[in-house]
Amino acid sequence: MKKDHRPYFVKKLYLDFQEFYVKHFLEPQFESLGTGFTFIKPWNVEIFGSPILLGDHANVIATSDKKIRLTIWSDSDEKGAIKIGNCCLLCPGVRISSAEEIVVGDNCMIANGTYITDSDWHGIYNRVVPIGNTGKVTLEENVWVGDSSIICKGVTISKNSIIGAGSVVVNDIPPNSIAVGNPAVVVKKLDEEKEFTTRSHWYADPKALSKEIDMIDRDMLKNNTLLEWIKTLIIPKKGN
């Protein structure tokens, strides 16, 4: 698709339906779901187990070929939890699996295909009994996890740190660091004197932000008509 041919009202109806889907089908599966969320294609989000908590102003983007899966499976009713803070971004293909506890702080960004787990899921020698060794995983505030990374059990990634694409994190990462590789090691330190602009800053005035995005949609789609949109669906041309 070279451009969005939908008229504004069609896109608005689609966005309203996505919000309805989240409230009707997904919200009951969360222990807590914050306000101001944005889910893209929420029918590709799978929730299993409890408690799973997602904070305010979450951005959750899923696709049919890369579903988002938040899963709790534990051998104890008192273990297993996924707690995701405010203003976090979950991209397509993210999987978070907990048998102990996984905590994601505010303003974290988790890129496409990332896997976060707090368990081995089988014993090293006894591979019949599930779960295996576990250890709490913590992503502190404003952590950015790159594409297709794996975060393993017992790890803490401290605030503001960045995990490079494809990394496997098996040890703690200190604050204000860039870590890459398998296993991930720190390759650079961030300048702690510089101020970070976080997703919380973006959501400082949610109503104004929503209005701005709506105005952009109106402007981008203002010349689109229902008939022309239908034509692009039924008889697509190279220029479409």
Local confidence band at 157 (pLDDT 50, 70, 90 cut-offs): very high
Local confidence band at 72 (pLDDT 50, 70, 90 cut-offs): very high
With a cut of 80, say whether residue 240 has pLDDT above it.
no
CA 47, 118, 93, 61 torsion-angle sign: positive
CA distance 36 to 126: 45
Predicted local distance difference test score (pLDDT) of residue 237: 85
- The values of phi and psi at residue 10, to 5°, are -70, -45
Give residue limits of the domains in the chain.
Answer: 1-30+205-235, 34-195
Enumerate residues 6+ apart whose C-beta is below 8 A from 72.
48, 49, 50, 51, 52, 80, 81, 82, 97, 98, 99
Mean pLDDT of 28-57: 98
Domain 34-195 CATH class label: mainly beta
| Global model pTM greater than 0.85 | yes
With a cut of 80, say whether residue 228 has pLDDT above it.
yes
> How many CA atoms within 13 Å lie on the side-chain side of 192?
6
Predicted local distance difference test score (pLDDT) of residue 78: 87
